[in-house]
């Protein structure tokens, strides 16, 4: 079995492990730890039956070696559709996702349940998993009851392995929302499905800006008897009001998701992601219960005050927000990285988001400014020198985002 050696990087697992080597054997991490020699020989040669000489050595000196990013809310089919047929956004190619350092993502339903069906969602999840990030999916969307494949959400979660939960929308003008009784029943069904399948069976709740009963979710949790970790609220930074509601749920043990796409520059009244995380921590929400997700590929470009339209962008990057949290002194880098690695992996019950022996070899190599240099998923190199190894055949090369491309001989 061939070995890949990431040599001499600063390892954040995301807990800091110091300067060291990481050895990949096949799909898994064989060894990770302090530098033991010029080729990491004692680590790589310790496994019986493996070639002690790595077939691929990546010099990671002065670089960060971190877990691949886990993006728990990504519109892989494209969002939009609420502003007319022409506003439907195309499906997401793998290139921009892996070039953002993401090795695991969750496809999210949105406004349009008709032309962006659960069958199409699953097909795109399979396609992305084959060529780029490992991809899971959520049932549901903006409309209740939600469309299903088998006839019920309960059966879908039980029988379709790639489904990890259901998204619903609350406090949203464009959505049909479940009432208290339906929420209690849904939470109980998710508890059963989680026990039956071992999956997260997460209730992922879009928080909109419409008025409504702020105690709806806390009461449903209490009456259902569900584990608070079964519930995740997203778009927590939509407004000051949604942030307060999310903070209360976070103190109960629910997951609170903040989206960089939502910010005051684009949405009046929104709370900047860095300010939102700072406020959640100040309100008593554990950093271990906070996640960041991109909400990428979600909506049509907005019209600027001068009448021009902003350019379309996938907006799948999360690492710039990690850097901003660190620069602002809100969290140290390892804790900020946890918001896009170990925390979302824990919320989704996925065995990713960490660097340890035996874990899937999902690894990102970053420079000091958190720009992506290399990405591996299951030990396979997806990004080299900031660019996708195998570009999407259906995406014009001229549309690919610029990256920090080095000469072929540099790491």
Beta-bridge mates of residue 301: none
Contact 390, 130 (CB under 8 A): no
So what's the pLDDT on residue 36? 52
Contact 342, 334 (CB under 8 A): no
Residue 103: C-alpha distances to residues 67, 96, 171, 257, 392 (Å): 9, 11, 32, 19, 16
So what's the pLDDT on residue 316? 97
Three-state secondary-structure class, residue 358: coil
Distance between CA 272 and CA 320 in Å, rounded?
13
Rounded to an integer, the average pLDDT of 383-401 is 80
Rounded to an integer, the average pLDDT of 166-191 is 96
So what's the pLDDT on residue 49? 40
- Tokens in use for 122? 């699953």
- Per-residue model confidence as pLDDT tens digits over 139-166: 999 999 999 999 999 999 999 999 999 9
- Per-residue model confidence as pLDDT tens digits over 288-321: 999 999 999 997 677 788 888 888 889 999 999 9
CA 407 to chain centre: 30
Contact 355, 363 (CB under 8 A): yes
The strand order across the sheet containing 134-140 reads: 69-74, 102-107, 134-140, 163-170, 202-207, 231-234, 255-258, 290-292
Q: How many CB atoms lie within 10 A of CB 51?
A: 13
Structural domains of the chain ordered from first start: 3-66+354-399 (2.30.40.10), 68-347 (3.20.20.140)
So what's the pLDDT on residue 34? 84
* Of the candidates 251, 250, 218, the residue with the CA atom closest to the CA atom of residue 234: 250
Distance between CA 177 and CA 23 in Å, rounded?
48
E strands within 36-100? Answer: 56-59, 64-67, 69-74
Contact 19, 34 (CB under 8 A): yes
- pTM of the full predicted structure? 0.93
- Per-residue model confidence as pLDDT tens digits over 14-50: 999 999 999 999 999 999 988 654 444 444 334 334 4
Residues 6+ apart with CB under 8 A from 411: 58, 59, 60, 61, 63, 365, 373, 374, 385
């Amino acid at each position: 079995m061939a070995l890949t050696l990431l040599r001499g990087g600063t390892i954040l697992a995301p807990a800091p492990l110091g300067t060291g080597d990481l050895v990949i054997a096949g799909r898994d991490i064989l060894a990770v730890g302090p530098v033991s020699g010029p080729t990491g020989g004692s680590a790589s040669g310790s496994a019986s039956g493996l070639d002690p000489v790595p077939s691929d050595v990546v010099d990671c000196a002065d670089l960060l070696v971190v877990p691949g990013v886990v993006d728990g809310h990504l519109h892989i089919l494209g969002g939009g559709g609420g502003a007319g047929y022409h506003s439907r956004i195309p499906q997401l190619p793998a290139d921009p996702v892996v070039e953002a350092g993401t090795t695991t993502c969750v496809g999210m339903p949105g406004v349009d349940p008709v032309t962006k069906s659960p069958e199409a969602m699953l097909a795109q999840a399979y396609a992305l998993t084959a060529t780029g990030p490992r991809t899971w999916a959520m049932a549901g969307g903006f409309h209740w009851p939600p469309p299903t494949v088998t006839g019920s959400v309960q059966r879908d979660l039980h029988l379709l392995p790639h489904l990890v939960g259901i998204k619903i929308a609350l406090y949203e003008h464009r959505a049909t929302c479940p009432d208290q009784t339906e929420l209690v029943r849904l939470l109980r069904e998710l508890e059963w499905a989680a026990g039956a399948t071992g999956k997260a069976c997460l209730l992922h709740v879009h928080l909109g800006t419409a008025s409504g009963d702020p105690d709806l979710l806390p009461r449903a949790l209490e009456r259902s008897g569900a584990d608070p970790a079964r519930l995740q609220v997203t778009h927590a930074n939509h407004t000051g009001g949604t942030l307060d509601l999310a903070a209360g749920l976070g103190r109960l043990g629910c997951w609170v998701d903040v989206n960089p796409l939502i910010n005051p520059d684009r949405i009046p009244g929104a709370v900047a992601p860095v300010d939102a995380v700072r406020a959640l921590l100040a309100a008593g929400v554990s950093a271990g219960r906070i996640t960041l997700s991109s909400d990428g590929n979600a909506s049509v470009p907005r019209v600027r005050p001068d009448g021009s339209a902003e350019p379309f962008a996938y907006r799948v990057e999360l690492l710039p927000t990690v850097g901003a949290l660190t620069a602002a002194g809100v969290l140290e880098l390892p804790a900020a990285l946890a918001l896009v690695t170990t925390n979302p992996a824990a919320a989704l019950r996925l065995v990713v988001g960490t660097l340890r022996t035996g874990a899937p070899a999902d690894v990102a190599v970053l420079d000091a400014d958190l720009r992506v240099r290399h990405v591996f998923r299951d030990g396979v190199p997806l990004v080299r020198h900031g660019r996708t190894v195998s570009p999407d055949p259906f995406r014009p090369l001229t549309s690919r985002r610029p990256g920090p491309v080095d000469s072929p001989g540099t790491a």
